Amino acid sequence: MEIKADTLAIDGGTPVRSRPWPRWPIFDETEEQAILEVVRSGKWWSVEGTKVREFEEAFARFQDAQFAVCVTNGTAALEVALRAAHIGCGDEVIVPPYTFIATATAVLSVGATPVFVDVEEESLNIDPTKIEEAITPRTRAIIPVHIAGCPADMDGVLEVARKHNLLVIEDAAQAHAAEWKGTKVGAIGDMGCFSFQASKNLNAGEGGAVLTNNPHWADQVWSVHNVGRVRGGRWYEHHVLGSNFRMTEFQAAILLAQLKRLPEQTERRTQNAHRLTEMLSQIPGIRPPRPDPRVTRHAYHLYIFRYDKNHFGGRPREDFLKALNAEGIPCSAGYVPLYKERVFLNRPISKDLCQLSTLKDYSKVQCPVCERACYEEAVWLYQNMLLGDERDIEDIATAVAKVQRAFTR
């Protein structure tokens, strides 16, 4: 059988790409020396060491915030922020369904109930115009997620929150360096939560932080993350229910080194994302991301474009993903709507929740914009792919165009 040059790799053709993508994480002797310094100091925890405090100050400054408290991971950051706000049994927290599961399970972990509100068509962030109809007398907070590194409509979220006296806790786990109207996210609301997990644009394997401009919330977060202690108090003096969520000196040492790399990496991702958007815009059936003009910096932790099967011979997105992966372009469908996860559908998980009587019947939740993105349209590319050169970006567009031609022959 003759194999034509344009035959898809999944059908036996030659893939567009065979060379590796830029590695992640990026590191050198700087990180090695930072770890060695901590090892030799013998001060491996933040109570005795200086690295965590140094990183907290540097990261807060970088993100246009006044205060930062580092914790063990991004999931813990969300839980700590909720506990600091005394959100718990009987309370409701509004969240989007298009996000990592921790956004909602952190709410469950403090005994409160997550209430899902659909996302915007373009950004896939929570839709502020749909929040108000989900507010009840039990509602205490809104958690807007800056998905993929694209800031949510913070003007819209804050307008609703202030009208109803609700807290705004930003989930900025994917949004290091992202900006809304010239201000970096994380302290635009009352508090903001970041992750430094291995895949993130700023990473130490694991880690997290809570940012705020409010000294009251900073003190509350610090207390919750440090077993209920108070700043300046005695070591065995505990005022609130907290736990040990402290970051180690090793994580902070790596983060200090990685933070210095972040501005250049962010700029490179931005430039390559713009190149890719220009190229993909020319391919029928592909809709690249078009951020709100008020988004002055998209962090591009993910590059999410949309697939329209009507321009691909009616082939479902799953066929497209398989074909594109075979061409050497790593991609995936991403999330499912959180309310479709078994943790929300299996009612027995609520046995340990103090607000059992108020737990929602998530089988009845419908968020059509989210569901369409999850099951039909969204295609994820990963942040390290945007750290390459022009040839890397051309390979992505070439592969997408190749699949489009093949599916419509």
Give strand ranges (E) for 29-99.
Answer: 67-71, 92-95
284: left (phi > 0), else alpha (psi -120 to 50), else beta?
beta
> What are the structure tokens assigned to 35, written together?
């770890």
Whether residue 158 contacts residue 144, with contact meaning beta carbons closer than 8 Å, is answered with no
Whether residue 150 contacts residue 156, with contact meaning beta carbons closer than 8 Å, is answered with no
**Closest of 233, 234, 239, 245 to residue 193, by C-alpha:** 245
pLDDT digits (tens, 9 = 90+) for 321-364: 999 999 999 999 999 999 999 988 875 444 556 544 356 789 99
Please list the pLDDT of the chain residue by residue as tens digits (409 residues): 344 568 999 999 999 999 999 999 999 999 999 999 999 999 999 999 999 999 999 999 999 999 999 999 999 999 999 999 999 999 999 999 999 999 999 999 999 999 999 999 999 999 999 999 999 999 999 999 999 999 999 999 999 999 999 999 999 999 999 999 999 999 999 999 999 999 999 999 999 999 999 999 999 999 999 999 999 899 999 999 999 999 999 999 999 999 999 999 999 999 999 999 999 999 999 999 999 999 999 999 999 999 999 999 999 999 999 999 999 999 999 999 999 999 888 754 445 565 443 567 899 999 999 999 999 999 999 999 999 999 999 999 999 999 999 999 9
* Helix, strand, coil percentages for the chain (3-state, nearest 5): 45, 15, 45
179-180 and 167-171 strand pairing = unpaired
In this prediction, residue 359 carries a pLDDT of 64
DSSP helix/strand/coil, 216: helix
In this prediction, residue 360 carries a pLDDT of 79
DSSP characters for 253-279? HHHHHHHHHHHHHHHHHHHHHHHHHHH
Q: Position 16: which residue type?
A: V
Whether residue 12 contacts residue 4, with contact meaning beta carbons closer than 8 Å, is answered with no
pLDDT digits (tens, 9 = 90+) for 141-196: 999 999 999 999 999 999 999 999 999 999 999 999 999 999 999 999 999 999 99
Half-sphere exposure at residue 84, Cβ-oriented, CA atoms within 13 angstroms: 33
pTM listed for this prediction: 0.96
> What are the structure tokens assigned to 230, written together?
């108070």
In this prediction, residue 345 carries a pLDDT of 85
- Architecture of domain 29-258 in this structure: 3-Layer(aba) Sandwich (3.40)
Rounded to whole angstroms, the Cα distance separating 399 from 352 reads: 49
In this prediction, residue 348 carries a pLDDT of 47
Write down the residue that tokens 């009845």 correspond to. Answer: 364
Biggest CA–CA distance in the chain, Å, is 79
> What are the structure tokens assigned to 46, written together?
């933040």
In this prediction, residue 3 carries a pLDDT of 46
In this prediction, residue 2 carries a pLDDT of 44
Write down the residue that tokens 């360096």 correspond to. Answer: 177
Residue 114: partners with Cβ closer than 8 Å, 6 or more residues away: 92, 93, 94, 95, 103, 104, 107, 108, 338, 360
Helix (DSSP H) and strand (DSSP E) numbers for the chain: 11, 13
Residue 298: partners with Cβ closer than 8 Å, 6 or more residues away: 148, 149, 150, 151, 178, 270, 273, 289, 291
How far is residue 380 from each of residues 153, 165, 307, 317, measured CA to CA in Å? 21, 36, 11, 12
92-95 and 113-116 strand pairing = parallel
